[in-house]
Amino acid sequence: MKYRSLMGAALFALSATAFAAAPPTSPDAQVEHAWIRWLPAKLPAAGYAVIRNVGDDNLRLTGASSPEYGMVMLHHSRLAQGDSTMEMVDHLDIPAHGSVTLAPGGYHLMLSQPKHPIKPGDRVKVIFEFAGGGELQTDFSVRPANASGPTD
Amino acid sequence: MSLRHRWLRLCLTAGALFALAACASHPQWQLDDVQGHLPDLKFQLTGDLGQPVTAATYRGKVVLLYFGYTHCPDVCPLTLVHLHTVLQKMGKAADDVRILFVTVDPTRDTVPVLHQYVTAFDPRVVGLTGASGEIAQLAKRYRTFYKPAPAEASSAGGYEVTHSSAIYVFDRNGRAQLLATPGSSNDEILHDLKILVEQRS
């Protein structure tokens, strides 16, 4: 009995150490052209980027967060002939050696509830979250409301 | 030549002449021509400086009418940037163009927020708001529709937002002329706006 509880305690300690020591894995992905279209009055802003999967395994993007915004969501706009629809998205798959583009009028991040005033020229940290616990941190550049892309 | 052929030739010639005459009086639009299909510009709303405005306020200007809301970070900015780019390309002539951005979310879009939002894109954009009934009336007049996000959208989880993305183009006299969409190219919009700006009221 005593032996079993000792074993149990040892196993527990071992697994606790394992959990504590496990840092988020870094997926085989790269982020390019990351930018946020700034909007005034603390309005929700959209974030755009190209995410490249440079690994041999498919990746599933499940969300994102930022220390500078209260909430970051993955959204998808669809532009039909006469109307546009915006909806939340659970996940976005990135095939092995493929990429996804978050761009105006399509997939994008919606960053809301800024924790402090953010202005064009700033850089904002965003953490992409992947299925399986992987995380990828990227700096987004904040561009003026009427910018057409990451550098124009 | 048989009589039948001569008759056919006469018809073709008459047809060509008619087409030429039509060309002379009707510009070759690149956007969708809606002249006669949509009513003249008419509204009574509040501008983004809190001033009362009506369609008459913009008589003499070529008007682009668009329905949107400020909690729209992707498609509304995409459209406004699209139009801003066209106006930049027009140069001085763009001073005679106004983009009227009518909010379909008047509860959240206060006058100051609307002002900050529209002026962030282009000085020729005017934000318009009003009582929800007045806005609904204007939307109905142009057969547009909208369903903005619920106010508590950020915590409510899954939701969907739909709104019309049409851009209604009016001549200097407030007559509906053309319909553009975010999918219309810069060149198409530029081409047609140039013609409308050259027309005197």
pLDDT at B70 over 70: yes
Secondary structure letter of residue B185 according to DSSP: -
pLDDT for B51 equals: 98
- B84-89's contacts with Cβ under 8 Å and 24+ in sequence apart are B84/A146, B84/B121, B84/B122, B84/B125, B85/A148, B85/B186, B86/B186, B86/B189, B86/B190, B86/B193, B87/B122, B87/B124, B89/B186, B89/B190
The total number of structural domains in chain B stands at 2
**String of b and e for B69-104 (b: at least 16 CB within 10 Å)?**
bbbbbbbbbbbbbbbbbbbeebeeebebbbbbbbbb
Residue A144: CB atoms within 10 Å: 15
Residues B12 and B86 in one domain: no
Chain A: residue whose CA lies nearest to B166: A82
Q: Do A82 and B120 touch (CB under 8 A)?
A: no
More confident residue, B183 or A121: A121
Least Cα separation, residue B106 to chain A (angstroms) = 15
Least Cα separation, residue A110 to chain B (angstroms) = 7
B12 pLDDT band, cuts 50/70/90, is: low
Residues B73 and B160 in one domain: yes
Secondary structure letter of residue A120 according to DSSP: T
Residues B77 and B9 in one domain: no
Separation between Cα atoms, residue A125 and residue B150, nearest integer Å: 28
Chain A: residue whose CA lies nearest to B72: A44
Determine the 3-state secondary structure of B42 from DSSP. coil
Write out chain A residues lying below 8 Å of B182, CB-based: 79, 84, 105
pLDDT at A11 over 50: no
B147 pLDDT band, cuts 50/70/90, is: confident
User: Tell me, what CATH number does B59's domain have?
Assistant: 3.40.30.10
Q: Do A85 and B183 touch (CB under 8 A)?
A: no
- Among B34, B38, B48, B74, the strongest candidate for a mutation testing the A interface, having the largest count of A CBs within 10 A, is B74
Q: What is the pLDDT of residues B97-134, one digit of tens each?
A: 999 999 999 999 999 999 999 999 999 999 999 999 99
Residues B4 and B80 in one domain: no
Residues B60 and B109 in one domain: yes
CB proximity A99 to B under 8 Å: no
Residues B11 and B70 in one domain: no
Residues B41 and B109 in one domain: yes
Residues B82 and B4 in one domain: no
Q: What is the pLDDT of residues A30-81, one digit of tens each?
A: 999 999 999 999 999 999 999 999 999 999 999 999 999 999 999 999 877 6
B37 pLDDT band, cuts 50/70/90, is: very high
Q: How many CA atoms lie within 13 A of B128 on its CB side?
A: 27
Residue B170: closest CA among B10, B63, B37, B53? B63
pLDDT at B183 over 90: no
Residues B22 and B36 in one domain: no
Residues B115 and B142 in one domain: yes
Domains along chain A with CATH numbers: 25-143 (2.60.40.1890)
Separation between Cα atoms, residue B169 and residue B162, nearest integer Å: 21
Residues B1 and B71 in one domain: no
Residues B8 and B70 in one domain: no
**Domain assignment of residue B6, given as a range:** 1-27
The ipTM estimated for the assembled molecules is: 0.82
Q: What is the pLDDT of residues A93-150, one digit of tens each?
A: 999 999 999 999 999 999 999 999 999 999 999 999 999 999 999 999 999 999 999 9
Separation between Cα atoms, residue A126 and residue A34, nearest integer Å: 10
